[in-house]
Structure 1
Amino acid sequence: MPSDPSALLQSGAARHAAGDLAGAEHFYRQVLKRRPQDANAHNLLGVLARQRGDVAGALRHTERALAVAPEQAAFLANRGAALAEAGRLPEAIAMLRAALARRPEDAVALRNLGQALCALGDPQAALAPLEAATRLAPGVPEPLLALAHARREAGDKAGAAEAARVALTTADATLAEQVRFLLAALGEDDAPIRAPAAYVRDLFDQFAPRFETELMDRLGYRTPELLAALLTEAGIAPRRTLRVLDLGCGTGLSGLALAPFARRLEGLDLSPRMLAEARRRPLYDALHEADLLEWLPTRPAAFDLIAAADVLNYLGDLAPALAAIAAALTPGGHVAFSVEAGEGAPFALAEAMRYRHDPVHVAGLATAAGLTLVAQRAGVLRMERGAPVEGALFLLSR
């Protein structure tokens, strides 16, 4: 191993570029042993932490890098990206703009700025940086997909579809699946039977740090409380006697409503960052990172109660999910869930990229899965763009 810090840094960067994150970290930390305030080592450790999903580590190292070199554009850009991933969007936007003032042709910083503006609820302002990012990185699909989403949120369906089609020409298989899903939501393609798992995971990973503030403060989210009320109205008392599964547990908001019913409470989610937030709450006896259609069949007759608050909106055909839920319930067990309400077609993919389901069709699928309807209610699940999201709440028994 070289002893010179500059040589160590170069060795770490080479390992980093080759995808050896552990090897890169080792060399960067050797640099810091010799030069504790080395800004490049801290910045690269910040990049590495972001790649691992370690938001706290990314914030710590990017702050230290900037403390040494506050005018360095690359450090400002990396700090802005870390702040965005932490959900600190106004700070992220200011930092990314500072980076771009020093290095205006940074396509990655432009894309990050556009996505942060979009996440903050200003898709119109996001268009200029995202369009610039696509010009600076022609043929790169990620900025094009980000631009497509911003145009969709700004109300430009035709422009969104145009950007998505261009992204599709160079996207790999995983990204192409997400692009096609967007095109389907725009009415440009046939809707698949479910949202791509990678799309759902990425969506909620990005959403995790600001999830509760967004839902509770801005969107008036009510589904967990509505489901808990449906349970008590049906005579299922909150006596902490049941083995409960919180399906799509997210940060644990639904767990707060379910805990009074649970002797043992488990949570399941696709998003590791959502699960990291849920672990901060002393609610769950176990948390699992998995796809519900893959995980539920491994737990036959394991739960007395399964609850799914705003989870089935990301599945179109609910027959496999309801069958899997029924099999995971004990005889006499219950499932409580919500769907966004539609009518006519059994299910339809909305422009908001969630499925709406005809409640009559859902009831029929439940019967076919061996579930008996105990109670059904209509209700407003939350607000979206100033309008109520109408839903249907179901309580079924095995």
Structure 2
Amino acid sequence: MAQASPDDLLREGAARHAKGEIAMAERLYRRVLKLRPDDANALNLLGVAARQRGDLPAALALSAQALARQPRSPVFLASRGGALAEAGRLAEAAETLRAALALRPADPVALRNLGQVLCAMGDAAGAIAPLRRAAELAPATPEPWIALAHALREAGQDGAAEAARRALAIPGLDPALAAQARFLLAALGAEAVPDRAPAAYVRDLFDLYAPRFDQDLEGRLGYRTPGLLAALVARAGSGPGRVLDLGCGTGLSGIPLKPMATRLEGLDLSPRMLAEARQRGLYDALHEADLLAWLPGHRGAFDLVAAADVLNYLGDLGPALAGIAAALRPRGLAAFSIEKGEGAAYALGQGLRYRHDPAHVEALARDAGLVPLAREETVLREEKGAPVAGVLFLFRRP
């Protein structure tokens, strides 16, 4: 039987790739490269597969190799731009995506990626034109409409709710995308506020934010919550023990918690945040899970559960506080922050995070069996140049 040609292997790999058979597609692309080492299409597609698996270093290396062989390929430029965006290299991503669009201006995916990059760079107004064009070119694709809705909301322009509703009207809309569109409408006051942010939305948000999270929070946003929470715990005088960093992110919060821990574990929804946390070498274990699903399976496991800027993605805090209380050993401590609201038990802000009434939160914690030890008002960080008011709480399980 004749050996399959590189072109045959490439076609088969692309077909498998389109079906979601990533591992098989990668094997076929590598076979192409053994036969034809300079095949730019195989390098590019292998890079796309690596990015889909979350291997950004490989995606960046492979996209660079493909582009070196065909520098004016709009397909390769678009792939490279997408990889740079996910790696947090936003200025390079914008430049590369613009180069791709100069060669192929009607590429809806490159237009959407450019718009999302511009939003991430703080230029929501500049993102609107490419996102609107992407939605026009692919009106039956929900992602451009949702991205446009976010950009219009962030820019303070009209039409965000209409764009979100256009996404919701698409037949067969994925439930996770539908939940995100409805969550955005709730933030705009156009739908009832749900009791939590959609888990898939939070995971995707922080997956994309992971590469630049530390730089943004500690530099541009003046983030202080982990250190303030740790200081609150230290003043309680509790000895070292088993600590859970709830919503650990990249591990920023683990730094002040580490001296308090005989064993430090982290929990987060975002695999890319956890990958960043793993590189710090602080944690004895890291878990990828939703806190509401994970906590009930770990009753009486921890001496301290700390949650810095985590509960603002939940509206109804009753289940979370009950889960935290159950996960504590007797005399264990719960330390967490909230964004401060007034009047309503909770409200969804324009920033797509919840604000909570402190008195209501304290009542929920008492209902969960926790005893209040400390409550401290503070500034958590800055947002659009304005301070974000928050409250730190410390409770003990009897």
Query: TM-score w.r.t. structure 1 length?
Result: 0.98
Alpha-carbon distance in 1 for matches of 2:109, 2:15? 21
Code of the aligned partner of 1:377: E
After TM superposition, the structure 1 stretch with the greater mean CA deviation from structure 2, 226-235 or 358-367, is 226-235
Gaps spanning 5+ residues in structure 2: where?
none
**Deviation of the 1:202 alpha carbon:** 0.5
After TM superposition, the structure 1 = structure 2 runs for residues 86-105 of structure 1, keeping only pairs within 5 Å, are 86-105=87-106
Q: Partners of 1:159 and 1:205 in 2: how far apart? A: 27
Offset at 1:235?
2.1
- What is aligned with 1:382? 381
2:180 aligned with 1:181: no
Q: CA deviation at 1:52?
A: 1.2
Partner of 1:344: 343
Aligned equivalents of 2:296, 2:237: Cα separation in 1: 28
Alignment partner of 2:279: what SS? coil
CA displacement at 1:3 relative to structure 2: 3.2
User: Secondary structure at 2:190's aligned position in 1?
Assistant: coil
In the alignment, is residue 302 of structure 1 matched against residue 301 of structure 2?
yes
CA RMSD, Structure 1 to Structure 2 (Å): 0.9
Aligned length: 394
- Aligned position for 2:159: 159
1:13 equivalent to 2:18? Answer no
Structure 1 residue 234: Cα displacement: 2.2
Deviation at 1:86, TM superposition (A): 0.2
The yes-or-no answer on 1:44 pairing with 2:45 is yes
- Match of 1:3, SS state, is coil
Please state if 1:326 is matched with 2:338. no
Q: Per-residue CA shift, 1:344-379, capped at 9, x if unaligned?
A: 001011111000000000000010000000000000
Paired residue for 2:358?
359
Distance in 2 separating the partners of 1:325 and 1:16 = 42
Structural mapping, 1:173-212, within 5 Å: 173-212=175-214
Paired with 1:230 and 1:189, the residues of 2 have a C-alpha distance of: 38
Partner of 1:65: 66
Does structure 2 conserve the Cα–Cα contact (< 8 Å) formed by 1:2 and 1:8? Answer: no
Alignment of 1:279-294 (within 5 A): 279-294=278-293
Equivalent residue number for residue 245 of structure 1:
244
- Number of the residue aligned with 2:393: 394
Aligned-pair CA distance for 1:236: 3.1
> SS of the counterpart of 1:377?
strand
The amino acid that maps onto 1:127 is I
- Following superposition, the deviation at residue 380 of structure 1 comes to 0.2
- Superposition deviation, residue 23 in structure 1: 1.0
CA distance in 1, matches of 2:235, 2:301: 24
Q: Distance in 2 between matches of 1:6 and 1:153?
A: 46
Q: Distance in 1 between matches of 2:99 and 2:216?
A: 26
2:277 counterpart residue number: 278
Structure 1: any 5+ residue segments left out of the alignment? none
Q: How many angstroms apart in 2 are the aligned matches of 1:378 and 1:234?
A: 17
Q: Report the residue type matching 1:179 in the other structure.
A: A
TM-score by length of 2: 0.98
The Cα offsets for residues 52-76 of structure 1, whole Å up to 9 and x where unpaired, read as 1111111011000001011100000
What is the deviation of 1:135? 0.8
| Offset at residue 249 of structure 1 (A) | 0.3
Structure 1 residue aligned with 2:219: 217
